[in-house]
Amino acid sequence: MSEREGQAVLQLCGITRAFEQAGEPLQVLRGCSLAIHAGETVALIGPSGSGKSTLLHSAGLLEKPDAGQIIIGGQDAMKLDDGGRTALRRRTIGFVYQFHHLLPEFSALENIVLPQMIAGATRKAAERRARDLLDMTGLTPRANNRPGKLSGGEQQRVAIARALANNPQLLIADEPTGNLDPATAERVFEILQNLVQSQHLSLLMATHNHDLARKMGRVVEIRDGHLSEI
């Protein structure tokens, strides 16, 4: 059996989500379903306000949908309590956002070390992993620089390294190149793809950049609350 035919890393089954707007329900997700298998890269596109971030937050267990199933590595996250979902998220998922959200008072190295130590790694092991990831992203010379001394592209590369620090199975990225100029965006995306491949990860990435989307394994679109493959 191939990986594609085997167990999915992520399965979304009939996800619905509504918010209240001006006292009326606004239906954002209308029964969205998606399966991502080991090693797959999937681009999520759609108009602004179409629900891309809501779908990513649901898939990443940051928001609980109103209905549907979220299965990660064969485990039904909807059957877990808040603590169980948090533990599952920390074990299996890494996040990269449009804004890097690095801690400004810590160096690039320390920003990658901290989440590992929170997860229980020793300082020595965490630093070794952090230095390996900085090397993979081409940032070894910047290891001791704080975020304010890094360029926008360098900051985002540190954010990607931090997302991979705890060896997740799935990387979720929400417009990770959205704040970068075209040349830097291409470079950061190339590094991201190389890391996903070398670390044997799956990637779900929302983007407005259709050129980057076409370089990924699959493209799915969200429109009017529905998800479809294109």
Q: Report DSSP state, residue 37.
A: -
Distance CA 134, CA 107 (A): 12
Whether 215 contacts 185, CB under 8 Å: no
What stretches in the chain show pLDDT beneath 70?
Answer: 1-6
Question: What stretch of H or E contains 227?
Answer: strand 226-229
Cβ–Cβ under 8 Å, residues 102 and 162: yes
In the block, tokens 């990443």 appear at: 60
Q: Domains (ranges, CATH) in the chain? A: 39-65+77-229 (3.40.50.300)
| pLDDT on residue 6 | 53
What's the mean pLDDT when you consider all of the chain? 91
The pLDDT value recorded for residue 21 is 79
Q: What are phi and psi for residue 204, nearest 5 degrees?
A: -120, 115
Tokens of 9: 């890393």
State the pLDDT at residue 2.
39
Q: pTM here?
A: 0.89
Query: In this structure, what DSSP letter does residue 226 have?
Result: E
3-state DSSP call for residue 149? helix
H helix intervals, the chain: 52-59, 82-92, 108-118, 123-136, 152-163, 182-198, 210-213
